[in-house]
Amino acid sequence: MSERHRASRPGATPERRRAEVGGERGGTGRSGAPHYDPATVTRYLTQEWLDETRALGADQPERPGASVRMNWVVTGGPGGDVTYYEVLHNGRVVESGLGSLADAEVTLTTSWTDSVGVARGDLDLNAAFMQGRVKAAGHMAKLMSVLPLTKAPEYLALHERIRAVTEF
């Protein structure tokens, strides 16, 4: 069901795509921007993209207490609304998928435009939350325990790697 920008080819696993974008830590071309093979780009907010981002983030440092089960609702996308979930445990996404968690502690709702802005790095998630562009419902203390992660250098580097393999 996932959409791919590239033609399917044998061996195109998340591990191989990470190697194609410069290894586990990502790579940069001469311009300093991440380089990648456009044939390995994954369409934003598909199950394959969620799987890829989770695999890319497996090396994130442990952050004890930064744990939450959350649903995301992204409205007004090109194919309609998208609902997906993420389970963070001690600062790492350990589970994610399309659909929603019945036992989510937090639900975040935003527009497609703002979601893409955050994913591209053009809109700060914390600022979007404070401006009401990301609406939150549920256990606010849980949400507040994970928001500081978005400023961590490792998180910022991870999102550079994710942008390098994402088609918006």
pTM: 0.77
Among 2-11, 91-100, 110-119, 156-165, which is the least confidently predicted range? 2-11
**pLDDT value for 43:** 96
Strand 80-89 to strand 68-77: parallel, antiparallel, or no bridges (unpaired)?
antiparallel
Instruction: Check whether 10 has a pLDDT greater than 80.
Output: no
Tokens of 11: 């061996």
72-100 tens-digit pLDDT: 999 999 999 999 999 999 999 999 999 99
CATH-assigned architecture of domain 62-150: 2-Layer Sandwich (3.30)
Instruction: Write b or e for each residue in 80-93: b if 16 or more Cβ atoms lie within 10 A of its Cβ, otherwise e.
Output: eebebbbbbeebbb
Among 7-11, 32-36, 106-110, 125-129, which is the least confidently predicted range? 7-11
Q: Of 65, 75, 86, 84, which Cα lies nearest the Cα of 142?
A: 65
26-68 tens-digit pLDDT: 333 333 444 445 567 899 999 999 999 999 999 999 999 999 9
Instruction: Check whether 144 has a pLDDT greater than 80.
Output: yes
Question: Residues spanned by CATH 3.30.1050.10 within the chain?
Answer: 62-150
Tokens of 154: 């490792």
Model confidence at 9, in pLDDT bands (50, 70, 90)? Answer: very low
